[in-house]
Amino acid sequence: MTQELIDRAIALRPLLIERQAEAEENTYPAQDVHEEFEAAGFYRMLVPRRFGGLEVDMETYMHVVLELARGCPSSAWCMCLAANHALQIGSWFEERAQEEIFGDGDFRCASVAAPIGPATRVDGGWQLDGQVAYASGAPYSTHYMGQALMPDDGVPGPPRMLLFVAPRSEWTMLDDWGDTLGLRGSGSHSVRFEGARIPEHWAIEDTMMVDVDVSGGTPGVRIHGNPMYGGRALGPFTMSLAALFIGAAYNALDELESQLHTKPAPRPPFHPRKHDPDYQRMFGSAIARLGMCEAALMDCARQHMELCRQAAEDGREFSYADDMRIGCIAREVYIEAWETMERDIWRPAGSSSAKAGQRIERIFRDMAMSGGHRNTTLRDWALREIACERLGIPRDPATGNRQLPRP
C-alpha cells in the first residue's frame, strides 16, 4: 500500500498541473479533484484502521503530500491540512469521542491553533462562539479541530484553553479567501461559530494543541495499539509544511528542466540552455539542495515514528524538547526549499516565467507565502526553545516562559 499511495499521487500530477489556475480562481480544488483525492485514499491516510482508515506511517504520508504539491501546491495544501488532524484526534481523544468523530472513516478536518473565542459550559457539553482565519482544508472538511478560551473561574494566570472537535453542522465557512499573493487555491477560509454546541467528551480541558503532554501515554495507543498515535503535534505539522514546499520547489524545477531543453541561451551561440555552464550549475545546485531537503524531511518522519515507538514500548518520554527539535529541523528544511527556489530556479527561469499565469510564476507566489507563514515567524523563538531545553533552563509551569536565574 505504501508505494501504491505514492504512485497514485504521482499519477495525479498531470491533472493537478492542468487545473492549477482553476484552483486559484475557485479558491480551492474543484469537486472532481477532491473526489480523486478521496478515491485514492489520501484523506484516510492517518485515520485509524478501526474506523476505515489506512493508518500509514509518517514517511509515507510525507511522500504523498510532496508528490501532490509537485502537481499543484494549493490543491495539495487543501488536501493535506484536511487530512492531517486525524493523527491528533486518533491520539488524544478517548474511545467514545473517536467512535463518534471518525464514524465510518469519512473524515476531513481543518484546524487552527489560535483560539476561536470563548467556550461556555452548558448542559452536557460546551457552547462555542467566535471566528478564526486560515482554516486550510475547510471547503471539504467534515469537522473542525480547534481551541477556545475556557471560563477563567476566577483562577489567576494565563487563559485556559479548550481543545475541541466540532462537526460541520456547527460552523460556517466564510467566503473570504483568495486575495493573497499565493496559495490562493488552498481553501484557507475563515470559519465562524455562533452558538455552536458540542458534547463534553468532544473536548479536552486545559489543553494546548501544540503542547499536549503525552508523558502518561495516550488513549490512541491504548485503543489502536499503534505507537504512531502516541505523539505530539508540532513536528508532524511542520513536516507537512516542509513536504508541501519541497514538492512545490520540485514542481518549479520540473518546469525549469523543460525550459532548459527548449529555450536558447541569452548569449552566442544561442544553443539550448542545457548546454550553458551557468544554467547547468544552477540546475545542479537545485537538484542537490532539494534532494538534501527531501532526505532531511524523511529522516524527521522516521525520527518522529521512532520517538512514538520508544514512548509506547520502552517507556521513554516523548518530550516537548523532542517535538520542538523535529519541528525546528523541518522548518529549516522548508526555508531552504524556498531559498533554493529564489536562488537556483527563479533566476534561471528568467523574466518570461514571471508573466501572470505561467507555471513558475504561480509556484513562486505559492512558495513566497512560506516567508510570512506564522510557523516561519516563530523560527527564532523555536530555536531558543530547543537551546533552553538542552541547557536545562526551566519553563514557568503557569506561563510557559523561561525562568530567569535568581540573583
Last residue of a domain, which of 167, 182, 210?
210
Q: Residue 403 falls within a domain, yes or no?
A: no
Does 25 reside within a domain?
Answer: yes
Do 371 and 235 lie in one domain? The reply is yes
Asked if the structure places residue 220 within a domain, the reply is: no
401 belongs to a structural domain: no
Question: What is the CATH classification number for the domain harbouring 283?
Answer: 1.20.140.10
- 240 shares its domain with 378: yes
44 domain-assigned = yes
Taking the whole predicted model, whether its pTM rises above 0.75 is answered as yes
CA 135 to CA 190: how far, in whole Å?
6
Sheet holding 203-205, edge to edge: 172-173, 188-199, 125-136, 109-122, 143-149, 161-167, 203-205
Higher pLDDT, 91 or 154: 91
Q: Which of 27, 57, 89 is the last residue of a domain?
A: 89
Assess whether 294 and 387 both reside in one domain. Answer: yes
Residues 27 and 154 in one domain: no
Q: What is the CATH number of the domain that holds 63?
A: 1.10.540.10
Closest CA to 386 of 192, 249, 235: 235
Q: What is the mean pLDDT of residues 146-165?
A: 89
Is 215 among the domain residues? no
pLDDT value at position 104? Answer: 81
Same structural domain, 85 and 112: no
Domain count, the chain: 3
Question: Checking DSSP bridges between strand 125-136 and strand 143-149, what pairing results, if any?
Answer: unpaired
Q: pLDDT tens digit string along 180-216?
A: 999 999 999 999 999 999 999 999 999 999 999 999 9
- Kindly state whether residues 117 and 178 are assigned to the same domain: yes
Instruction: Provide the pLDDT for residue 1.
Output: 61
Q: Which residues form the domain of 35? A: 2-89
166 and 281 both lie in a single domain: no
243 and 353 co-located in one domain:
yes
Report the half-sphere exposure of 40 (CA within 13 A, side-chain side): 26
Q: How confident is the model over 287-304, as pLDDT tens digits?
A: 999 999 999 999 999 999
Residue percentage of the chain with pLDDT more than 90: 92
- 168 with 303, same domain: the answer is no
